[in-house]
Chain A
Amino acid sequence: MAKAPAKSAQTTSPDKLPNTPTASKEDLLRFYREMVLIRRFEERAGQLYGMGLIGGFCHLYIGQEAVAVGVQESVKQGHDKIITGYRDHGHMLAAGMDPKEVMAELTGRSGGSSKGKGGSMHMFDVPTGFYGGHGIVGAQVALGTGLAFAGKYRGDDSVAFVYFGDGASNQGQVYESFNMAQLWKLPAIYIIENNQYAMGTSIERSSSTTELYQRGASFGIPGEQVDGMDVLAVRDATARAVKRAREGGGPFILEVKTYRYRGHSMSDPAKYRTKEEVDEVKKTRDPIDHLKMLLSAANATEDELKAIDTEIKAIVAEAVQFAQESPEPDPSELYTDVYVEA
């Protein structure tokens, strides 16, 4: 983010909607609510991890909130499909999953969305169309292409939203998927959340070409680079790609330039980037601060924001309480859900 200014270049031009980002005050307040929910939720998840209540891996979404919230605006809930990798808490909250169930899954409790058997990286929710939560980097791209295939097979106009990172964009199966998606004109929206670091390896150190929106060029898949710290830019770019896909135009790549404030996971040595770099993004590019400016221009009052802050605080507190009070799964759950009984 700090280095490359976001571009709106396209390898080919999809149907364009009006390009000036606008939003009603009502919409902006909704975005604010969702983005603050993700941030406060993740802060508390980080705290619970520190207290030993969350185990294993825990990858926080702080800094990237505008991406999931902006994309979600194009999702027809219950019709479209969403799939992502291991940094999934933000996507699940944006998709509309219950924060209590997500937090309780993080603490490995029976009230979690996977009854405590999945953990941070493995949550699913059919009613909101959320298909996980996958821990193998890049696997969700082939799976998501399958979700798009199923949509086309059924002949509905559903779209699959397939999130992955700059790290996954170097996995071979991503390109196997791109090839099939374009070959069969599948309604897949590939959202590359380029937060600039694959664990501790910067994109410059891992990728021969760093313009990830062009990664579909050799397959004929158009792409666009989007400022992922601007929720309206994400919303509008996604809407254009989705419109095209629903009309049978096939897959599209959105490279969303964003930044993660926290470490890759909880145990991150933070040696691969400077504190100044992180601070600079927080100070100058924060997606919530940016949204606050838009809200102010739309005449939202301090009191309106404060009311949302208070509401979110209570929602997150309730989630934390639920996640601590929900019992661990009953030992009898050990052998359930291995097979569907025919």
Chain B
Amino acid sequence: MTDILMPALSPTMEEGTLTKWHIKAGDTVSAGQVIAEIETDKATMEVEAVDEGEVLEILVAEGSENVKVNTPIARLAGEDGAAAPAPKAESDKAQADAPKATAEGKTGDPEKAPAQTSTPKVELRDPEIPADTKLVKTTVRDALRDAMAEEMRRDDRVFLIGEEVAQYQGAYKVSRDLLQEFGDQRVVDTPITEHGFAGLGVGAAMSGLKPIVEFMTFNFAMQAIDHIINSAAKTLYMSGGQIRAPIVFRGPNGAASRVGAQHSQDYSAWYAQVPGLKVVAPYDAADAKGLLKAAIRDPNPVVFLEHEMMYGLEFDVPDVEDYVLPIGKAKVRREGKDVTITAHSRMVGFALQAAEKLAEEGIECEVVDLRTLRPLDTDTIVESVKKTSRLVSAEEGWGPMGVGAEVVARVIEHAFDYLDAPPLRVHQEDVPLPYAANLEVLSLPGVDKIVAAVKQVTA
């Protein structure tokens, strides 16, 4: 015998009306045959037989209201005992299991949820650079290019794809000479089609290639964010670890100069919120090179946030064979005892300048360059604040729900008792970035705002 149970039309349905029976006792039903109609306030559904056999009994008459889900509503005799899979026992088991599964699934016991497994801590360290290493003045632009070229030479699965990356040599000349060296199979100009080529890149990554997807700016990546998050970041998890997406999404992020609100947004906080992504935002040329090489080698999707205003600036880059830096490690760029300033990307430069000015007034700032936003190097930040007891975070993006908000929360969580003043956040004003020169200056954070914030927390 097999009981036919009152089915649920949706996960939230608890009861419904059995509006109509299409069968009666004595009928023989076959799999797939419509046997009844069920109605709730939301929907009507036909119930189809799954098992075959003769109807022994209708247990719930048609027109019955408030029939609870999983109530037996009819009983079948198995057509042939051998093929019908132990029907009665199975139905009973299913009934017993169903509420359990639902209850556990919905409520989820917070007590039972494991704490995020703190993966055994590997000490992340920048490589040792021998004292006599030659330092080469390099622009951020060329450091990025060198990183890509070195990785493309090293691994033929690596290719660059994006708008104007090949013949035009890069909208910001970051991919200069790559087409000449690697050819148009590996340096691929796309149509203006961000959503499409981001998805294409993720598909190629799933298939085992290692794409570098260049966005002319991250402002245009908003068209493609579905693939960055839904397709790239989540698939490893959703596939139970089977499908990887080793891909780098890179390009300039944040404000340039007088390009207006749609071309001037900082997306740091957006991407840094997403599990499955790594998010890197380097400041100088050496970090740009070492971290981009690490990003290309990383088996995970990496969002690599550059800054247009930094491309032309020169910094020392160690002339070593294979300069790779660890993702997830912040860098103390200036030591100080009075206040910690955290910053990433272009804001690091402003923080260093602010520290210089403040030093003239006797305030010693420690500048922590976050470098990676996900995973964020909480230890380095907390260690610094334990020393200085004061914190100012600086970021180019909007303040609410921002990188600074996260930094402050972690410091409060891990070093509350060390704080001598409420932490402050320096960030862009809470408006779309204006075009007018004076208003743009007023809106963006810079040296003066950092100086003011530091004075406030040290007052």
Contacts and interface: CB of A to CB of B under 8 A. Distances in A.
A55 interface: yes
B196 A43 contact: no
A114 B299 contact: no
Nearest to A57: B11
Interface stretch (A1-9, A210-218, A317-325): A317-325
Nearest to A329: B240
A180 B191 CA distance: 8
A47 B185 CA distance: 50
Interface in B50-101: 50, 69-70, 82-85, 90, 93-95, 97-99, 101
A144 to B, nearest CB: 6
Contacts of A52: 8, 11, 69-70, 98-99, 101-102
Interface string A148-185: 11110110000010000000000011001101100100
A143 B114 CA distance: 33
A271 B46 CA distance: 12
B199 A142 contact: yes
Given A47-B7, A144-B203, A332 B45 contact: no
Interface in A39-65: 39-40, 43-44, 46-53, 55-56, 62
Contact of B114 (A139, A270, A332, A338): A332
B439 interface: no
A87 B198 CA distance: 23
A49 B246 CA distance: 35
Nearest to A332: B114
Contacts of B196: 142, 145, 173, 176-177, 179-180
B207 A146 contact: yes
B207 A131 contact: yes
Contact of A113 (B31, B101, B240, B244): B240
Nearest to A143: B203
A177 B238 CA distance: 24
Interface string B190-232: 1101011111111111111100000000000000001100110
Interface centre among B48, B185, B238 (most CB of A within 10 A): B238
Nearest to B44: A270
B240 A134 contact: no
Contacts of A176: 191, 193, 195-197, 199
Contact count band on A:
35 or more
A337 B113 CA distance: 16
B239 A51 contact: no
A55 B300 CA distance: 30
B193 A180 contact: yes
Interface in B336-393: none
A263 B37 CA distance: 14
Nearest to B40: A267
Interface in B1-53: 5-11, 13, 31-32, 42-48, 50
Interface of B: 5-11, 13, 31-32, 42-48, 50, 69-70, 82-85, 90, 93-95, 97-99, 101-102, 104-105, 112-114, 116-117, 119, 159, 185, 190-191, 193, 195-209, 226-227, 230-231, 235-244, 246, 275-276, 278, 297-300
6 contacts: A142-B195, A143-B200, A266-B8, A336-B241, A337-B239, A337-B241
6 closest pairs, A vs B, by CB? A146-B203, A142-B199, A50-B7, A176-B196, A317-B85, A115-B240
Given A51-B98, A151-B207, 8 more contacts: A47-B50, A147-B204, A176-B191, A177-B199, A267-B9, A267-B45, A271-B44, A339-B278
Interface of A: 39-40, 43-44, 46-53, 55-56, 62, 81, 83, 107-108, 112-118, 122-126, 131-136, 139, 141-151, 153-154, 160, 172-173, 176-177, 179-180, 183, 263, 266-271, 309-310, 313-314, 317-318, 320-321, 324, 328, 331-332, 334-342
